[in-house]
Amino acid sequence: MQRHIFTVTLCYCFAAKPRLVEPVTMTLLENSQIHISLCLERFYPKDIEIKWYMEGSQNGISSPSTQKPTERNDQTFNVTSDFSVSGSFFAKPHNKVLVEWKHESLDAPGCRSWSWRDFPWRPVMEDIIIPKLEAGKEAALSCKISGYFPDSLFVQWIKKEKGNESEIKLPTREYAIPCVKSNEEKDKTFTRVTRLTFTPHPERDRGAEFICRVTHPTLEEPIEKRTRPLDISSRPVMEDIMIPKLEAGKEVALSCNISGYFPDSLSVQWIKKQKGNESEIKLLTWGYKGRYSKSDEETDKTFSGVARLTFTPCPERDRGAEFICRVTHPTLEEPMEKRMGPLGG
């Protein structure tokens, strides 16, 4: 009896849905072009249709660069589709780019869209730099903003006065905001340093808070940085030493008015130089008594006081001597002083 052997080949047909690889790669190119690279993976069968659209003021289908699907080890496929668009297309907030893919495994086409809010180039703000602020000396607060695209940044400086929650929008007559342009970086994003220039005034600015607020097409809400309440330093002002009528054996006081300083960190030193001797004698004892009487805070938020040196003149000791009132303060790089003398007999 003859046997017949039959070989049967079974074909299993299946469909695998394309998976979108996240995140979608977006790159900035020359001339403000945006390159979008979309990757779909693990789909079967091989045939897939991808279309790109520009929705808004320039509706239409573009001509993307779609590579041929590549086969994986598991016999499914991957494909990459590239698309470039001018950044200026998104100048209108409702414009968007949309991509759609059709595959027999899908009941409805897959899609993805991008507007400015979906792009990664959002501005990053650094802390506001506060220089040493001194009353009457022009200064500038500065804030660096980087990593943004497009170059459509709006910066608003705001002041909040001490004890008042209302916001004062700047510039005003006292506060200026120099106009500066953004700089393009190697990665095609932009950077800007914004400045607020003003001449600090103790009564107006001490304790005030300043805000740098930024809006950009990629942001749903503005972002901001704030300063701490400002300290405004003021240099002390010294008047000439006041010399009363001196009589041997009768106690007197030299005095020097010092005003207009902040913070309240003043140090006073009385010094004597003997006739014919350049060496300085710091007057802590030896019959000389130094005292500093500080007043309360003035209406302009500065401090003032009177430095006094009390002693009983002695002709042999004091005739021809010179007296110095020397002041140190955080606002001073070097001590300041007033001199008097030489004393008569």
> pLDDT tens digit string along 294-303?
877 888 888 9
Banded model confidence at residue 1, pLDDT cuts 50, 70, 90: low
Mean pLDDT of the chain: 90
Instruction: Give dist(CA 162, CA 203) in Å, integer.
Output: 10
Please provide the DSSP assignment of 4-32 as one string: ------------B--EE-SSPEEEE-GGG
CA neighbours closer than 13 Å in the CB half-sphere of residue 327: 30
User: Residues near 287 by Cβ (< 8 Å), separated by ≥ 6?
Assistant: 311, 312, 314, 317
> pLDDT tens digit string along 151-173?
999 999 999 999 898 999 999 99
Banded model confidence at residue 14, pLDDT cuts 50, 70, 90: confident
| First vs last C-alpha separation in the chain | 156
Instruction: Give dist(CA 39, CA 41) in Å, integer.
Output: 7
Banded model confidence at residue 285, pLDDT cuts 50, 70, 90: low
Least confident piece of the model among 75-84, 139-148, 273-282, 322-331? 273-282
In 3D, which of 168, 167, 122 has the Cα closest to residue 145? 122
The two tokens of residue 217 are 């097409």
In 3D, which of 25, 108, 103, 27 has the Cα closest to residue 69? 103
> pLDDT tens digit string along 21-74?
999 999 999 999 999 999 999 999 999 999 999 988 556 666 667 788 999 999
With a cut of 80, say whether residue 230 has pLDDT above it: yes
Give the model's pLDDT for residue 60: 64
With a cut of 70, say whether residue 4 has pLDDT above it: no
Give the model's pLDDT for residue 296: 74
With a cut of 60, say whether residue 179 has pLDDT above it: yes
> pLDDT tens digit string along 274-283?
887 878 888 8
Its sign, for the CA torsion 139, 162, 303, 173, is positive
Q: Domains of the chain by range and CATH? A: 19-118 (2.60.40.10), 124-226 (2.60.40.10), 237-340 (2.60.40.10)
The two tokens of residue 293 are 């009487």
Instruction: Give dist(CA 88, CA 131) in Å, integer.
Output: 38
Across residues 327-344, what is the average pLDDT? 91
Helix (H/G/I), strand (E/B), else coil: 160: strand
What are residue 71's phi and psi, to 5 degrees? -85, 140
Give the model's pLDDT for residue 9: 46
What are residue 149's phi and psi, to 5 degrees? -155, 135
Higher per-residue pLDDT: 308 or 295: 308
In 3D, which of 240, 246, 257 has the Cα closest to residue 343? 246
94, 128, 164, 204, 229 from 174: Cα distances, Å? 39, 19, 19, 10, 18
